[in-house]
Amino acid sequence: MTRIWIALAVAASLAACDGGNILTGNLKPVPPVHRIPVDVEGRAILIAEDPIIETRDPVHIARARDHRVPQDLRASMTKALGLAGFKVVSTPAEPHDLVAKIALAVNEDTGKVRQTYRLGLRGLDGAEVVQIDWGWPEGTFVDENEVLDYATHHVANELAASPRVFAYLRRARADAGASPP
């Protein structure tokens, strides 16, 4: 009789997990970052500010600040862009080709928490080059210490596949080479 109750308790626990990874250990690994084309490797991106937390709930903002989410997200994005082949600088005085704005949007309008990791890149003239919005896939679980790396590696991979960024960088290099020293 005790075995039946244990079996029922385990079955109820599994049903409560709703396909989650609590008992199965089905954690997603952090993906590798794809490299950018060789002719644009080493181009510099300025990340001078901590990311913005976009939400209507001031509790989310306070919690994010208490846990240093903006600073950790910035560090993780810096690392991911470096793995892609970019040079990342932190002060406007350093030479750079693009200016990055990073944000994390948190939305609970549907009753479920939705996170969107944003990377906006602008040229030196302020014109938008690309805006990448990567939404956390529903039902995706990662190790709690790898959440930001998982997200920023996906953002960096989208950037590494962006023809608009490469076209801008190649055009900027050609313009710089055509102008007098």
Q: Where are the domains of the chain?
A: 43-178
Greatest Cα pair distance in the chain? 88
In the prediction, which pLDDT does 59 show? 86
CATH number of the 43-178 domain? 3.30.160
pLDDT digit string, tens, across residues 66-107: 999 999 999 999 999 999 999 999 999 999 999 999 999 998
The per-residue pLDDT for range 109-159, each reduced to its tens digit, is 888 889 999 999 999 999 999 999 999 999 999 999 999 999 999 999 999
**Segment holding 75, helix H or strand E:** helix 69-84
Q: Which residue has the higher pLDDT, 177 or 45?
A: 45
* CA torsion, ordered 126, 64, 115, 140, to nearest 10 deg: 130
CB atoms < 10 A from the CB of 61, how many? 17
pLDDT at 4 over 70: no
Determine the pLDDT at residue 177: 66
Place of tokens 């080709």: 97
Alpha-carbon Rg for the chain in angstroms: 21
Supply the pLDDT for residue 2: 46
Residue 169 has pLDDT above 70, yes or no: yes
CB–CB of 106/53 below 8 Å?
yes
